[in-house]
């Protein structure tokens, strides 16, 4: 189908807005290819099928609309965790605020340093997993990110890292428009945990490409900052080798527009992947979209998608989730659940669950529900003396808890629960 003129014009305007970054030939080639992809696809538009429930115009507008900074006395996330801390301010790596780029079991570089190295392992991954993920669904904002992002981390994990790497994104400028692109290669048998937190910028576009080799593990816990006006689009492209594990969890509270895409592909047998999200949205402006695409192309792999959204005062939650099981992917176990809890009649939850299965020996299930607080449960709790608002919070946390339970690290899971509880308590005013 020919791309419409407005989409082309949108792409040109947006592409012209970002300077072309410098890099070695391999990086230059990858970026040029991504730019060609972006220009041929055009900027995403709300008429696109994949953006049917989420209007991307705030993500494609030139220039970025300013977003007021969110100041809070709240402690930064994950500060209690023993980790290597890396800071990006409005999308720019801040060496002064960061720990040394040194983590036992891994080599960490900045993207700009890696792409200026003539011979680098990242050649095989940078822009490559993103490119693989462009089919069958176009992901123009990810292509644009590959083409123009000059910030990010390039991480080679060779052993079992004891400590997580925690990236904190600080939003400091009202009109900041940031792109970060991380590339992570986890060697066979190695293990790595990535923590991400913070709003990042007024507008934030992030891409994460992660290659999880045979028997390797990748754990990912992310919280998206509470800035009320931020706009965020993220893409995680994951490739899983044999018997590997990938677990990703995201907590989102507030923000205006958040679109989180996860694109996972099983290429080796007996691997496991989980993508989960707990989201709490308050207010008319809140729009949160989780879009997941899992491709099973190997035998006996298990994938889980668990998404929970609690919405109030006109907030909107979206889930688009697909499990594609190719003909040879026998014994696939695919699970998908998305649930919206609406605290009033003005809020919305829209879900598009999809299964596309070409193998005959698979167990796939999916479910999507939308509902209100259970009155019977609420009465039970209040009849024992728990004040109504507190009882409601308990039920909301219980609801979100099923997604939080997908994090297999108690310390991190408790941290997430505490944050959500504190956030809900503040709602009481």
Partner 1 sequence: MLKIKNLQVGLEEENKQILKGVNLEIGEGEVHAIMGPNGSGKSTTSYVLAGKDGYEVTDGSATLNGEELLDMDPEERAAAGLFLAFQYPVEIPGVGNMTFLRTAVNAQRKARGEDELSAGEFLKIVRAKAKSLEIDADMLKRPVNVGFSGGEKKRNEILQMAMLEPKMCVLDETDSGLDVDAMKLVAKGVNALRDGKRSFLVITHYQRLLDHIKPDFVHIMADGRIVKSGGPELALEVENNGYADILAEVA
Residues near partner 1 (CB under 8 A) are 374-377, 379-388, 390-391, 394-395, 397-399, 401-402
Cβ pair 58, 170 in contact under 8 A: no
Query: To the nearest whole angstrom, how small is the minimum distance from the Cβ of residue 393 to partner 1?
Result: 10
Between 163 and 304, name the residue whose CB sits nearer to partner 1: 304
Between 256 and 278, name the residue whose CB sits nearer to partner 1: 278
User: How many other C-beta atoms lie within 10 A of the C-beta of residue 92?
Assistant: 15
Query: To the nearest whole angstrom, how small is the minimum distance from the Cβ of residue 395 to partner 1?
Result: 7
Between 136 and 387, name the residue whose CB sits nearer to partner 1: 387
Sheet hosting strand 316-325, strand order edge to edge:
102-103, 106-110, 153-157, 177-186, 203-212, 231-240, 257-266, 287-296, 316-325, 348-357
Between 11 and 391, name the residue whose CB sits nearer to partner 1: 391
Q: What is the SS3 string spanning 77-111?
A: CCCCCCCEEEEEECCEECCCCCCCCEECCEEEEEH
Cβ pair 300, 426 in contact under 8 A: no
Query: To the nearest whole angstrom, how small is the minimum distance from the Cβ of residue 359 to partner 1?
Result: 33
Say which DSSP state 362 is in: -
- Joined together, the tokens standing for residue 195 give 């923590």
Query: To the nearest whole angstrom, how small is the minimum distance from the Cβ of residue 377 to partner 1?
Result: 5
Query: To the nearest whole angstrom, how small is the minimum distance from the Cβ of residue 376 to partner 1?
Result: 5
Between 291 and 392, name the residue whose CB sits nearer to partner 1: 392
Angle of helix 410-427 relative to helix 388-404, nearest 10 degrees, comes to: 150
Between 48 and 402, name the residue whose CB sits nearer to partner 1: 402
Residues 6+ away with beta carbon under 8 Å from 115: 21, 23, 24, 27, 122, 126, 150
Between 181 and 308, name the residue whose CB sits nearer to partner 1: 308
Query: To the nearest whole angstrom, how small is the minimum distance from the Cβ of residue 416 to partner 1?
Result: 14
Say which DSSP state 151 is in: B
Cα 252 from Cα 4, distance rounded (Å): 33
Residues 6+ away with beta carbon under 8 Å from 77: 168, 195, 197, 198, 223, 415, 419
Query: To the nearest whole angstrom, how small is the minimum distance from the Cβ of residue 307 to partner 1?
Result: 15
Say which DSSP state 66 is in: P
Between 350 and 395, name the residue whose CB sits nearer to partner 1: 395
Beta bridge partners of 193: 219
Cα 58 from Cα 338, distance rounded (Å): 25
Query: To the nearest whole angstrom, how small is the minimum distance from the Cβ of residue 254 to partner 1?
Result: 23
């Amino acid at each position: 189908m020919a791309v419409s003129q407005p989409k082309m014009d949108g792409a040109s305007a947006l592409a012209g807005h970002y300077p072309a970054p410098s890099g070695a030939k391999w990086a230059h080639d990858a970026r040029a290819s991504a730019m060609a992809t972006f220009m041929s696809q055009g900027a995403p538009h709300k008429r696109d099928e994949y953006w049917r429930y989420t209007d991307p115009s705030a993500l494609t507008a030139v220039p970025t609309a300013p977003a007021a900074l969110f100041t809070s006395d709240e402690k930064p996330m994950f500060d209690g965790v023993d980790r290597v801390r890396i800071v990006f301010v409005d999308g720019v790596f801040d060496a002064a605020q960061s720990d040394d780029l040194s983590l036992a079991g891994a080599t960490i570089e900045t993207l700009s340093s890696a792409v200026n190295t003539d011979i680098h392992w990242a050649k095989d991954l940078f822009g490559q997993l993103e490119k693989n993920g462009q089919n069958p669904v176009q992901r123009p904002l990810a292509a644009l990110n590959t083409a123009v992002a000059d910030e990010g981390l390039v991480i080679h994990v060779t052993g079992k890292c004891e400590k997580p790497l925690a990236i904190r994104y600080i939003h400091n400028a009202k009109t900041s428009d940031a792109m970060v692109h991380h590339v992570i290669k986890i060697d066979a048998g190695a293990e790595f945990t990535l923590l991400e937190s913070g709003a990042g910028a007024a507008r934030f576009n992030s891409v994460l490409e992660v290659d999880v080799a045979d028997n390797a593990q990748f754990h990912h816990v992310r919280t998206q900052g509470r800035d009320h006006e931020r706009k965020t689009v993220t893409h995680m492209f994951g490739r899983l080798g044999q018997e590997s594990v990938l677990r990703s969890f995201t907590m989102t509270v507030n923000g205006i527009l958040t679109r989180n895409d996860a694109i996972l592909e099983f290429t080796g047998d007996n691997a496991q992947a989980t993508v989960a999200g707990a989201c709490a949205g308050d207010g008319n402006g809140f729009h949160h979209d989780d879009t997941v695409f899992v491709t099973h192309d190997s035998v006996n792999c298990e994938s889980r998608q668990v998404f929970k959204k609690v919405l109030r005062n006109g907030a909107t939650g979206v889930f688009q989730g697909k499990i594609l099981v190719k003909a040879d992917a026998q014994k696939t176990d695919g699970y998908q659940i998305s649930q919206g809890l609406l605290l009033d009649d003005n809020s919305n939850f829209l879900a598009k669950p999809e299964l596309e299965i070409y193998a005959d020996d698979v167990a796939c299930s999916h479910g999507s529900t939308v509902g209100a607080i259970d009155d019977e449960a609420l009465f039970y709790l209040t009849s024992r003396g728990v004040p109504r608002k507190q009882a409601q919070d308990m039920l909301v946390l219980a609801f979100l808890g099923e997604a939080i339970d997908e994090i297999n690290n108690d310390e991190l899971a408790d941290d997430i629960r505490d944050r959500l509880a504190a956030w809900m308590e503040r709602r009481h005013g």
